[in-house]
Amino acid sequence: MANPRAEAEDILGGDYEARVLEPSPPAVTEDPWTDDPVEPGEVPEGRDLVSPVHNRGDLTWDEITRQEPDLAPWCAERWLGAWKRLEPVPASFAETRDALHMVAEAVVSPARQPPSEISLRYTRGGFGTPFFEQDGLDCQVRVEHGELVRQHGLDETTEPLPPEVDAAAADALGDFYGFACSVLEQLRADEVDGEASTVVLWPEHFDIAIDLGPESAGKRATFGASPGDESHPEPYLYVAPWTAEVPGELWNAQGFSGAEFGYAELLAAPDQRRAALDFMRKRYRALQEA
């Protein structure tokens, strides 16, 4: 989509200001060359703000879907509200994940301007860059439903990806990132004193994460979601303290110091989003009280 925020305001009939999880134009052109799609910013007087998370606007998208149920499928597809459930990943997931990891590192991230900025974002059906300026136009490179999309102003071109990329597995990866982005944005909105960083998808490890907690007190940690790695065949959520000692049953991670919440546990939860938030909030509180 050329402009996710504009699309969102259009679907609301032009009656609201809207914030979404995906990056939108205009291009990020100033230091620190980063973006925050849910930042409320300036809202014209007399207009309400609709946000993906509470504490960031007058209404949430989830509240809007209760008033207008016809919008529920649109919101669910974008992980804004009326949240759908994550499902078991296809058998082809690991191979697709590894192939897309290479695409993220070798193709998508290097397209960012300036070249020194490597961080990516969740985008609908996958992942991509924030918008950057090129030839005076707002540009983006992203993976959407298993295809590479290059956006140059209002023009888009698509390219097929390696045969190892299975469309169903690519969609499962995109949904996992969308779910995680929604959870992490709510966590940052809840912990207003935690000096939260922006939600970023890092191409090196292919995880999506924030940093949260006071670093000066030694209580800062990375809260994130990984699509899997050499120690984890399936996706998982994690909390990785920067410096604090983390003994005890809350800290059960394999392969790193911290805590993890496996995909099987997430799938079994009656309310997956609440289970994910409870996992992260409990560890955050434990670190702050240590």
Closest CA to 253 of 269, 241, 267: 241
pLDDT (0 to 100) of residue 234: 96
**Can you state the angle between helices 167-190 and 93-103, rounded to 10 degrees?**
70
Q: What is the pLDDT of residue 68?
A: 95
State the average pLDDT over residues 108-116: 89
- If asked whether residues 146 and 191 sit together in one domain, one would say no
Q: Are residues 38 and 102 in the same domain?
A: no
Q: Is the pLDDT of residue 19 over 70?
A: yes
**Model pLDDT, residue 290:** 79
Same domain? 188 vs 275: yes
| Mean per-residue pLDDT, 233-240 | 97
Same domain, 177 and 210: yes
- What is the number of structural domains in the chain? 3
86 falls within a domain: no
Across 194-212, average pLDDT: 96
% residues pLDDT > 70 (the chain): 99
- Least confident residue range of 14-18, 64-68, 85-89, 226-230: 14-18
> Distance between terminal CA atoms of the chain?
45
39, 109: one domain: no
Residues 196 and 283 in one domain: yes
Instruction: Tell me: pLDDT of 265 over 90.
Output: yes
Q: Which structure tokens are listed for 111? A: 């397209």
* Residue matched to tokens 């969102």: 8
Residue 67 placed within a domain: yes
Whether 180 and 276 map to the same domain: the answer is yes
Note the pLDDT of residue 251. 94
Distances (CA, A) of 226 to 82, 207, 234, 281: 23, 4, 9, 18
Summarize the confidence of residues 75-82 as an average pLDDT.
Answer: 98
Average pLDDT over residues 235-240: 98
d(CA 121, CA 285): 27
Residues 152 and 176 placed together within one structural domain of the fold: no
Q: Could you say which of 34, 51, 77 is where a domain stops?
A: 77
- Within a domain: residue 165? no
For residues 250-269, average pLDDT: 94
Amino acid at 132: F
Q: What mean pLDDT comes out for the span 263-272? A: 98
Asked if residue 131 belongs to a domain, the reply is yes
Q: Is residue 167 part of a domain?
A: no
CA 194 – CA 191 distance, rounded (Å): 5
Q: What is the mean pLDDT of residues 212-218?
A: 92
Note whether residue 88 is domain-resident.
Answer: no
State the average pLDDT over residues 217-234: 94
Of 77, 101, 134, the residue that ends a domain is 77
Q: Which residue has the tokens 């995880």?
A: 207
Last residue of a domain, one of 136, 160, 184: 160
Give the span between the Cα atoms of 62 and 3, in whole angstroms: 21
Residue range 10-33: mean pLDDT, rounded: 90
pLDDT of residue 1: 59
For residue 42, tell me if it sits in a domain: yes
Residues 137 and 182 in one domain: no
Looking at residue 95, its pLDDT comes to 97
Whether 165 has a pLDDT exceeding 90, the answer reads yes
> 122 in a domain, yes or no?
yes
Question: 143 is in which domain, residue-wise?
Answer: 93-160
- Give the C-alpha separation, 37 to 184, whole Å: 13
